[in-house]
Each structure stands twice: as structure tokens, then as C-alpha cells.
Chains A and B, each alone.
Chain A
Amino acid sequence: MASMVANGNRDGRQGEALVLKGVDPETCMIVFKNHWAQVVKILEKHDPLRSNTSSNMAALGVIGLSSGGPMRFGGPIPGDEASAVQNYVEHMLFLLMEEDAGQAGAMGPILEFVVMENVMERLFLWSLRRQFTDDMKLEQLKMYEMIVGQARQPLLHHKPVLRPLMMLLSSCSGTAGPEVEAELVSLLNQLCCVLAKDQSVLELFFHTSEDQGAANFLIFSLLIPFIHREGLVGQQARDALLLIMSLSAENQRVAQHIAENTYFCPVLATGLSGLYSSLPTKLEVPGEEWHCLHREDWLQMPTLVQFLNSLEFCNAVIQVAHPSIRDQLVSYIYNGFLVPVLAPALHKLTLEEVMTTTAYLDLFVRSVSEPILLQTFLSFILLHRHENVHILDTLVSRINTPFQLGTVSLALFQTLIGLYCEDVMLQLILRYLIPCNHMMLSQRRVVKERDFYSVSAAKILALTPSCCSPEHSPPPLRQLDSILWSKGTDNSPNTGTMETEESFLEEDGSGYSCVIGSEIYLDVNYLHYLYNARLGISSCTRACQVWSAPYDGEDPPPEEGRQAQTTTDPAPTNQLELEWDDSYDAGPVVSPEAATAESSRPPQPPAAEPPKHIQEMRRTAIMLVKGSYIEESDFQDDVMVYDLVAKKDARDTVNSSEVIKGSKEVKAHVEDHNSNLQSPLATEVGDDLMDQYEELIRTLGSDEAGTGGSSPVKTVDKEFRNPVVTPMEEDEVDFSSFSVDTPELEKQHLSLFGTKLRSGSTKSHSVPFTGPFVSVLLSRLENMLDNSLHVNLLLTGILAQLAAYPQPLLQSFLLNTNMVFQPSVRSLYQVLASLKNQIEQQASTKKDFPELITSAQHCLLARESSLKGQDSRECSPPEAGRMMKSSPPPQPKTISLARTEVFATVLFTEFLKELAAIAQEHSILSHVPMEE
């Protein structure tokens, strides 16, 4: 049997099948019986009990399984006898497989014989009796895989077939080698396929395993440990589980069993934590321009691929499974992965680690498609508080970091805004706009007004710097096509131009052309902006149809918004704890009265110190800047930070032994860091987690082998509540020992980043404020001339994304240049106007500015056309489509990207066009009901 089955000799089998075709069933039956008689002879010769009753055999089987060791009765079995049995069985199985079902679905005679004589069970016991090695298991598994997959009549309906299969399966769990595991999963997968096709087998799977004292629905439980496996085995296991998941959607019993009696959901969710811990804690960033993990990035990282596979599996389970399983899984992901693992990871101590986590989070949000899972991630981001600070607030404040963390954070928000999710937009911006506090009272009616005559667009375009106005740039930089705009004072001008046009069409061959005339020259590239704006606004408007309210200044009513603001903002103290508090510098200065009003509120917990992780983050950043704000590469590596910390420690002559211990650890960390991407601390965390994970699997195994346990999930639950919190805390303890006062550094921090550290503490919402997100975006935009090109691309991309939203509150705030805002409110238009002034100043002081502008335009054009080539980029930010479109220009004089003010000027001009185009399209689009 082994020889044939193990080799999977298909040709041989087919040959046999052909031979069998002509043979009549009776002959087959006789052959089968003869073979069996021979087998039985050998079997009985070696049976110590000489018993034929199946109940005894079953009992033996169980004993055999529980002891787990090789089973031998009555001395060793001679090899020739073993192979004789093998040969007979091989033939018998073929006969069984090839047998057709009897009339009206009755068993064929061979199957009936197999059932009556308990053939399969006896064969299983026979292999137990011999040395039950992995080879033996493999042989048996393959035997079942073959007959289950290829039999012409249903076999699993019969207990004498199913029971030994179950015994075999449970004997293979746990200890087997990789080959057996692969075969086991393959068989389980096949069984799940049978289940999916024929649900009547399901009942039997439940009952049979009960008889055996094993856990109910064994095939499911056996698959669980393979959920997070990489490679084919993992994939097969996940496919099989998905089959059962979709079964659960229709079958209450399966759903209930999985949700209440198995560890499926906890294993799946906390497995994410385990896989997460093996991800690099610091990414090797390809360059300064890098801001998010593209497909080609993460394909290079096997651990990340594995994580994403599991995340994708969660996504798929949530998609198909019964609601009870779905809800449980989502809850475990939230409480077992997001809160205990991702939240602390987002608050690690170094900029690089935090940046890496942010990039992961961005990737995860982009990878998830099932709304409920997405909602879990979003509610974590929007509502979860880590050390009393909303994750969202922390993320928003990081936009303002002058490091790559800021860029990566921007990319995350680009992803979030691109979801067209009402909850996200509500928390980020809309809730600050609903009360309409940001505008003068008389302006409320303007919110819904339409800009009939493109007044806003005209005002925005009027900010175009003189050095960039259309007349100054020749084609191809600016495609000034003359579009016929004849005033029609005479009757015949068209005839002439028509001819020209036709010849143009012929030359062009594309069938499209702008009409060529002679009167006014238009910026054709503006047409592209209009086109893109139209696409953007329409898709956004369509997406927002599922929203609960129009956000037009009336619904939700401004009064309600004011209440909501006070209730959603749990404590004003939150805001001072933000890492990069200068995001609030745009906020209003609070009058003494307002401050008093604040103090009359119910007392808040004293906001003496920001949370440790924030202090630490600040400190590392300060160190970096103070110690050597020299080269970018220094930021790639935390060695410098730790060095500084250690030096400072030595100076401070702290004699706490803990600190010394700590600094040693840091040194070790640093050394290790040099050789390895992963810090030992992170590995520790990971190991710990993996231990717990394995512990769980062990618990699972023992529970199953035992009585089944009254409520296994609950006990596991405890273990799983805080799987990672403890190691994370340890992580922080090491570093918090350095938290000696650093007052001078704090002061320098203030001057370095222009931070008003406590400005958030007295924030009151009765004072007009458009929210931290808008505020921080505008702050960064204000520095456009100093920002690098890619930061500006992201920044303007996000603002354009926001401007495309059809909600009048948002539109009027961002695009309506006629709107009169409260003096303390900074508007986009104001920032743009101040940028124009800065640019004009630069242009007037620098002689070669026009020349540089031309070079930068050429450079950006080249960049644009090279981007067009690689459209496969997974997260394609709008930037790809928003720069000037044209054929590649002649090779211009090169310009260094370090001339940020030049690139910013070019980008600024394009951004104005983009915004103006959006404003114009809004005036004709969003007020027309979509369905009409």
C-alpha cells in the first residue's frame, strides 16, 4: 500500500481503473473478500487480544493515542507480512474507490462489506500496532485522502469509515513532522471541501468525535494551529477554514460551536500580535522621499508578507463568517492586537520606531477591505486613548514633526481621508466646523451658497506669482493653446479656422484636439485640472451618499455641534500632552475670561507631566537635534541618541544601580542594532508573545484531549487580555530610568521648533477653532517654501483631497474666498496669500529666480512622465495626476532639489490651479442631485 499510495502513482491507478471497467461487480467483490481474508489472517496472528469486536478496538485506539508512543503488541511484525498486507490493501482500496453506489443511493457491496467488517478501523489499528511512525501516518493520511477524494459513492456517512479517520486525525495533531503536517492539512482541506458540498456529513463530524471523547468538530480544531503558517500549508489551512466559515454563516450550530467552544478567534487575532512582533521595528528607508509602504516594498519583507496574509485572512473570515464569529473576531483584534500591541508600538521611544509603526498602520488600513474590520481599525485610531491621549490626536500632532515621521503621518492621513468615511471626517474636521463658530454670524447663510461666477477660482488664481504667470513660460512648460473665443462680430471667421483645425486633426491623428483659433490663449493644462477635479468630486460625492447628514451648516444644526464638541472632547488636558504641540500655534489666544470659565469646570486631573513616552520622544528628538543635527543619516540610526543618553548619564552621576543596568542594556541594544535590524528588546517582546501563543495552543491541545473543559474560551480569555502589555511596560521601564530632568533641553526644544508647549492647555471650544488637523496642515503649508518637494506634494495632495469633498461646511471653509471668518481663524486662502507674498519677495531678491523656475518646471515635468511609466504603484497618491501633463521636455539645466523655494513656487502655482479647478467644478456639480 505504501509504495503505491505514497508515490501517488496515478498512472498505475488509472491503468487499474481501465482494467476494472470491464470487470463485473461480483468478481470485484470476490477479489476484495479474498484479499481481506488474507489480511485478516495476518492481522489476527499479531493481535494480542484475538478479539474482533470493534468496541475493544476503539478502546485500544484511544489508549494508543493518549500514550502517544509507538504501539506494539505481541512482538515485532515481520517485514514480509507487513508488505503483504500493504499489497492486499492497495488492491482493496482500488476496488472500493472504483465501486459505484448501489440503486437509490444504497451502498455498493464492497462498501457494505467494509462497513460490516469494520475494515478501515482494523487497518488503522494494524498500523498502530506496528511502529506508528511519521511514515505510517503519512501512509494512512494519503490513503484517506485518496479514497475521500476519489470514491464514487459517499464514504464519510458511515461511521466505520469516519471513526478511524477521526482517530487518525487526532493522532496526527501536535507532534508530527512537517511532511505529516502538510499531508494532514491537505486531507483536512479535502474534508472541508466535502463538507461544503454536502452538509449532511456535518452532523456526523460532530457526533463521531463525541464518541471518541475528542473535541467536537475535530477537523476544525485541527486546522487552527496552522492559521498563521506561511507557505502552502498555511494557505491550504486558511482556505479550508474559510470553507467552514462560510458554512457557519448558514449553520447556526457550527457558528455557535466555533464562537463558544473553540479558540479560533483568539488564535487568529492574537496571532496577528505574534506576527507583528516579528516585523522589523525599524525600516530601512530607501530615501527621504519615501513615505509609505508600497507593494514592492513589503514584498521584500517576508515577515510583513506573512502578517498581511493573516490580516487578509481575518478580512476574509469577517466577510463570510456568521455574525457571532465575526463580532468575536473583531473584538479580539481590537482588544488582542490593536490596543495591547499597536497602541504601544505607536508610542515607542524613537522617532524611527514610531515612524515604522505609522507606516505599518497605514499599510494595514489600506489592506483591509471589509467594512467591519475597517471600522475596527478606524475606531481604534479615532477613539482609543493610549495613556489618556487619543491616538488620533497623537497622529495629528506628529504631522508637524520635522522628520520623516511627519511625512509618513501625512501619508497615513491621505489614506484615511481617501476612505470617504464620515466618522473620520467628522473627527478630523467636521465636528469643529459644525458649530459654525469659525465664521461671522452673518456668514452662516453663505455656507450653502453657490459660487455662480467662479469668483473664488478667480481669486485663487489671482495669487499666481508674477514669475509663474502664463506669459513667462514658453511651451512645453505651459501649453498655451489658443481656443477660439470669437466674439462673432463678422460672419466668416470660422471658415478659416475650421480648415486649420481639420489639418491639425489629420496631423494629430488622435481624433481629439483643442479648437485652434487666434484670439485668446488659454492654459490648456488647466483643462486637465478641471477634468481631474470633476472626477474627484463626482466620486467623492457618490461615496458620501451613505453619510448621515449633508453638513451644510443646518444639518447637523450648529447648536448640536457645539454640544457634541464639549462631549467628545473629554478633557482639555489631553491637548497639552501631545507630542508636537506647536500644531496648535495657529489656535486662538484665550482671553482671561475664557480661562476663568475653564477653571470653573469640574476639576480635571492635574496635567503636570505629559506621558512618559511623549517626554521620551521629545527628549530623543531634542538630543538628535542638539547633538548633531548634521546629516540626514544620523536620523536613520538611533545610535546617536543612545550615545547621547549614555554620555549625559555619566555626567549626571546618578548612582542608581538601575540606571547603570539600564545603560548597559542600551549599549547592548546599540551594538546589536548595528548588526541587526531588530533590537533585542523587540525580540524579547516577540519571544514572550510567541511563548504565550504557544502556551495557548498547548492549552488548546490538553483541553481537547481532556474532558473538553467547561468554558475554555473564558480561561484563555484571561491569558489573552494582556498578552503584550507586560513586556511593553518593561520596555519602557528601562528607558524611563533616564527620565532625569532636562530643563535646558526643554527650553531648547521650545526655541528649536517654535513650540508653545502649553498652548493647548487653555484651549476652549467657545473660541473659534477649526481643529488641530486643519491647523497643523495649514502650519505646514505656511512653511511650503522650506518644505521638501515630496512633503509639499503630500500636503497639497491632502488639501486638494479635502477640497473635493462636497459638504458645504468643508467647501465653504476651504474654497469660498468671499467668506468672512472670525479674526482668529486662519483660512487656506490667507495662507496662500501669505505664500504668494513670500514668493514675490524671493523672486525680487534673487536675480536668477525665473531661470531656476524654468529648470524646476522641466525637472517636475520629467518626474511626472517617469511617474506615469510606473502606474502600478499600489497607493497612488493624487500627485501622480496633478502635475503638468506633457510629453517629456528637452533636457534642461539641472537644479538641486535642495532649492525647495523654487520647487515650492512651481508647485504652489500648480496647486492654485488645482484648487481653482475644484472650486469651479463644485459650482456646477455638487448642487445637482446625483440621481437626476
Chain B
Amino acid sequence: TYLNDFWEKGRSDGEEQSGEQQQQQQQRASPARPSFGKKQLPSIPKNAVPVTKPASPAATAQLANGTHASYGPFYLEYSLLAEFTLVIKQKLPGIYVQPSYKSALMWFGVIFIRHGLYQDGVFKFTVYIPDNYPDGECPRVVFDIPVFHPLVDPVSGELDVRRAFTKWRRNHNHIWQVLMYARTVFYKINTMEPLNPEAAVLYDKDVQLFKSKVVDSVKLCNSHLFDQPKMDDPYAISFSSWNPAIHDEAKERMFTHKRRPEDHQKGLQVSGLSWVKPGSTQPFSKDDNPPQS
């Protein structure tokens, strides 16, 4: 829910997001990262007049390949939005993600491990989606801090996702599956063709040592939890210690939230109409219809 709210804000709530704020965010974002620098389409408030810049001849030439070129970015944007709504729908246990401000192709995430060898681990990660999505490779998952794990590259922190999605198939594969996989690896350890051979060998040969290494790794990760986000992005996930002044209220709201749907329906004047009895396909079949004749 929280993520969804955020997303709504990011996408369409342009009126609330002041220009000043936007500017600040963009300034902060200026040292751009390699490979994923797509700008997210800013929200267009209803009455705003878009700034128009005459097309340069060079750019016009690029358009010659037809109408599609003008809309291609929209298709990509919406494909990713659709993926994101799917993730929300899945309600993956212990996994939270949100797309970055600067690019819909880069998502920030955090995973909470609640039991097993990696219990109490809180691992931040970033999902990189290829810009020819959904026709390209599988999205990549890179942990901020390389977790000690057979399938996590000890240097780059990248999780070996490709073994689970050898070929990325549109309509068949979805990003939530990748996230799901990223969670599963911490509960079911696989040591085949490891990216971290040391971890794989230890797991197979000396589980006790493996366990203690994992505990150390979890400790290390958790000790960096409150660090500034690695990415300078307004939507990067950052942790801060509990501050009752801020968090108590938020917590309260989260716990009372469950009751909201009903209240919501009562409070909000629903504009739709229906006199169809559930289970019927006849108009005006509800019992409490006043008689007409």
C-alpha cells in the first residue's frame, strides 16, 4: 500500500509536487549513473503548458521510421508500470521495492529474511531492467553489500538470476518472479555453479563455518543499514532509527489501515448505481426495488 501510494504520487500527483521540489530532486540527481539514465516522464498537471522546444533537424530524421518511434517510450514506461502493479499485487513476503525517481528501469529494493540461515538479515538491493524490456535479457539483481552466499558475486554483489530465467519470455516472465527468486535463495541454498565458490564449498563441506560466516555477513549488512543510500536518488530506500515523533504516527496508521476499506466506502459517496441482484443478470432484480406498477 505504501509503495502504491508513493507510486501514485510519483506518477500523477503533479499538483502536489511543487516545481521547486522537483528541481531540487533533479539537482541532487545530477551525478548520473552509468547505463540506466532514463528520465522518468514527469507528471503533467492538467493546466500546465508543456515547454516546447523545436525539433532539431537531426532528431526529426531519427523519426523517419514511423509513428511508433514517438510512442515507444510510452510503451516501455507502461510495461514497467504494469510490472510494478503486479509486484504490489503479489504481496511478496518481506520484499519491498520502488522504482527510482530517475528511471523506471531501475528499482530499489530491500528484503527481510525472517527465518533460516539468514534470519534477521536485511539486504538492500537494486534491480536493473534492460532498456529493451521485455524483449531483452533477464533483469539483474545487485545487492548493495555482497552477501555471503553461493549465488551472490562476492565483489559486485550481483545475484545469479539468469540460472532461473535462462531465457526471458514476455508475457510469461515477470519481475515479481525475479524478486521471489531473490528471496528463495536465502531459504533454499543451491551450490551448483556458484558465483561465490568459497561459500558453496563451505556450505557443502563445513556448514558450521558457513553458518558463522553468514552470521557475520548478516551483521555486516545490518550495520550498514542506516548508511546513506548508495544511489543518490530521491526514491532510494533509506533507513533511519526509530523516531517516535515521526514513526509512531505512521505505525499507528499502518495498524489502523486494515479497517479502512469499509470506512472508505461509507465516507466516500459512490457515484455508481446498481439495482442488479448479485448472481442475477436481470436489471432491477434487487429485492428492495419499489414496485413500478
**A and B associate:** yes
Beta-carbon contacts under 8 Å, A457-473 to B: 457-458, 461-462, 464, 469-471
A398 is an interface residue with CB less than 8 A from chain B: no
A454 touching B75 in the complex, CB below 8 Å, given contacts A486-B39, A488-B34: yes
Beta-carbon contacts under 8 Å, B27-61 to A: 27, 29-30, 32-39, 41-42, 44-46, 48-56, 59-60
* A599–B189 CA distance with the chains assembled, in angstroms: 70
A527 touching B83 in the complex, CB below 8 Å, given contacts A426-B276, A547-B272: no
A452 touching B82 in the complex, CB below 8 Å, given contacts A331-B291, A493-B37, A547-B272: yes
- The closest CB in chain A to the CB of B44 belongs to A527
Contact A545 B265 (CB under 8 A): yes
* A556–B292 CA distance with the chains assembled, in angstroms: 26
B267 is an interface residue with CB less than 8 A from chain A: no
> Number of B residues contacting the other chain (C-beta, 8 Å)?
89
Contact A923 B82 (CB under 8 A): yes
Q: What residues on B are CB-neighbors of A527 within 8 Å?
A: 41, 44, 50
Instruction: Return the contact of B71 from the options A382, A523, A931 (Cβ within 8 A).
Output: A523
* A193–B293 CA distance with the chains assembled, in angstroms: 35
A490 to chain B, nearest CB (A): 8
A544 is an interface residue with CB less than 8 A from chain B: yes
- The closest CB in chain A to the CB of B14 belongs to A512
A515 is an interface residue with CB less than 8 A from chain B: yes
Q: What residues on B are CB-neighbors of A326 within 8 Å?
A: 290
- The closest CB in chain A to the CB of B134 belongs to A453
A420 touching B81 in the complex, CB below 8 Å, given contacts A453-B170, A488-B35, A927-B89: no
B10 to chain A, nearest CB (A): 13
Q: What residues on A are CB-neighbors of B256 within 8 Å?
A: none
Contact A423 B275 (CB under 8 A): yes
A528 is an interface residue with CB less than 8 A from chain B: yes
Instruction: Return the contact of B39 from the options A419, A479, A515 (Cβ within 8 A).
Output: A515
B-contact 0/1 string along A499-541, CB 8 Å cutoff: 0011011011011111111111111101110110010000100
B223 is an interface residue with CB less than 8 A from chain A: no
Q: What residues on B are CB-neighbors of A331 within 8 Å?
A: 290-293
A515 touching B293 in the complex, CB below 8 Å, given contacts A423-B283, A547-B272: no
A423 touching B293 in the complex, CB below 8 Å, given contacts A484-B39, A488-B32, A491-B32: no
Instruction: Return the contact of B20 from the options A487, A492, A511 (Cβ within 8 A).
Output: A511
Contact A542 B270 (CB under 8 A): yes
A512 touching B44 in the complex, CB below 8 Å, given contacts A548-B278, A564-B281: yes
A676 is an interface residue with CB less than 8 A from chain B: no
B95 to chain A, nearest CB (A): 16
Q: What residues on A are CB-neighbors of B277 within 8 Å?
A: 548
B-contact 0/1 string along A476-492, CB 8 Å cutoff: 10011111111111011
Contact B50 A481 (CB under 8 A): yes
* A458–B73 CA distance with the chains assembled, in angstroms: 11
Beta-carbon contacts under 8 Å, B129-182 to A: 131, 134, 170-171, 174
- The closest CB in chain A to the CB of B103 belongs to A488
* A843–B257 CA distance with the chains assembled, in angstroms: 58
A-binding segment of B62-70, B107-115, B206-214, B230-238: B62-70
Contact A932 B38 (CB under 8 A): no
Contact B67 A512 (CB under 8 A): no
Contact A335 B293 (CB under 8 A): yes
Contact A371 B74 (CB under 8 A): no
* A521–B39 CA distance with the chains assembled, in angstroms: 13
A521 touching B63 in the complex, CB below 8 Å, given contacts A375-B284, A462-B68: yes
Q: What residues on A are CB-neighbors of B171 within 8 Å?
A: 452-453
A518 to chain B, nearest CB (A): 7
- The closest CB in chain A to the CB of B5 belongs to A932
A549 is an interface residue with CB less than 8 A from chain B: yes
A713 to chain B, nearest CB (A): 16
A427 is an interface residue with CB less than 8 A from chain B: yes
A321 to chain B, nearest CB (A): 12
A494 is an interface residue with CB less than 8 A from chain B: yes
Contact A546 B291 (CB under 8 A): no
Contact B71 A383 (CB under 8 A): no
- The closest CB in chain B to the CB of A518 belongs to B59
Q: What residues on B are CB-neighbors of A374 within 8 Å?
A: 273
Contact A512 B59 (CB under 8 A): no
Q: What residues on A are CB-neighbors of B23 within 8 Å?
A: 502, 505
A504 to chain B, nearest CB (A): 5
B116 is an interface residue with CB less than 8 A from chain A: no
A546 touching B85 in the complex, CB below 8 Å, given contacts A486-B39, A498-B30: no
- The closest CB in chain B to the CB of A488 belongs to B37
A337 is an interface residue with CB less than 8 A from chain B: no
Contact A520 B69 (CB under 8 A): yes
* A481–B23 CA distance with the chains assembled, in angstroms: 19
Q: What residues on B are CB-neighbors of A382 within 8 Å?
A: 283-284
Contact B281 A561 (CB under 8 A): yes
B88 is an interface residue with CB less than 8 A from chain A: yes
* A523–B67 CA distance with the chains assembled, in angstroms: 10
Contact A488 B33 (CB under 8 A): yes
Contact A471 B50 (CB under 8 A): no
* A471–B277 CA distance with the chains assembled, in angstroms: 52
Contact B70 A510 (CB under 8 A): no
A512 touching B48 in the complex, CB below 8 Å, given contacts A375-B275, A421-B274, A454-B79: yes
A-contact 0/1 string along B253-293, CB 8 Å cutoff: 00000001100110010111111111111111000011111
* A801–B36 CA distance with the chains assembled, in angstroms: 38
Contact A494 B51 (CB under 8 A): no
Q: What residues on A are CB-neighbors of B27 within 8 Å?
A: 498
Q: What residues on B are CB-neighbors of A419 within 8 Å?
A: 273
Q: What residues on B are CB-neighbors of A484 within 8 Å?
A: 39
Q: What residues on A are CB-neighbors of B71 within 8 Å?
A: 457-458, 461, 522-523, 526, 916
- The closest CB in chain B to the CB of A431 belongs to B281
Contact A483 B39 (CB under 8 A): yes
Beta-carbon contacts under 8 Å, A414-469 to B: 419-424, 426-427, 431, 434, 450-454, 457-458, 461-462, 464, 469
* A383–B285 CA distance with the chains assembled, in angstroms: 12
B-contact 0/1 string along A765-798, CB 8 Å cutoff: 0000000000000000000000000000000000
- The closest CB in chain B to the CB of A494 belongs to B32
* A335–B290 CA distance with the chains assembled, in angstroms: 13
Q: What residues on B are CB-neighbors of A531 within 8 Å?
A: 12, 44, 46
A511 touching B69 in the complex, CB below 8 Å, given contacts A335-B293, A419-B273, A494-B37: no
Contact A887 B264 (CB under 8 A): no
A891 is an interface residue with CB less than 8 A from chain B: no
Contact B271 A521 (CB under 8 A): no
A649 is an interface residue with CB less than 8 A from chain B: no
A522 touching B30 in the complex, CB below 8 Å, given contacts A422-B275, A932-B88: no
Q: List 29 A-B contacts (CB under 8 A).
A: A326-B290, A327-B290, A375-B290, A376-B290, A379-B284, A421-B273, A423-B276, A426-B281, A454-B78, A462-B67, A464-B67, A481-B52, A484-B39, A504-B51, A505-B23, A512-B50, A518-B56, A519-B62, A520-B59, A522-B73, A522-B74, A527-B41, A531-B44, A545-B272, A547-B276, A548-B276, A556-B279, A916-B71, A928-B88
Given A512-B45, A546-B274, A925-B85, 19 more A-B residue pairs with CB atoms under 8 Å apart are: A371-B273, A422-B273, A422-B276, A431-B281, A452-B79, A454-B78, A476-B52, A498-B30, A502-B23, A511-B19, A511-B22, A512-B14, A520-B69, A520-B72, A543-B272, A544-B272, A549-B278, A561-B281, A924-B85
Chain A residues with CB under 8 Å of chain B are: 326-327, 330-331, 334-335, 371-372, 374-376, 379, 382-383, 419-424, 426-427, 431, 434, 450-454, 457-458, 461-462, 464, 469-471, 475-476, 479-489, 491-495, 498, 501-502, 504-505, 507-508, 510-524, 526-528, 530-531, 534, 539, 542-549, 556, 560-561, 564, 567-568, 887, 916, 920, 923-925, 927-929, 931-932
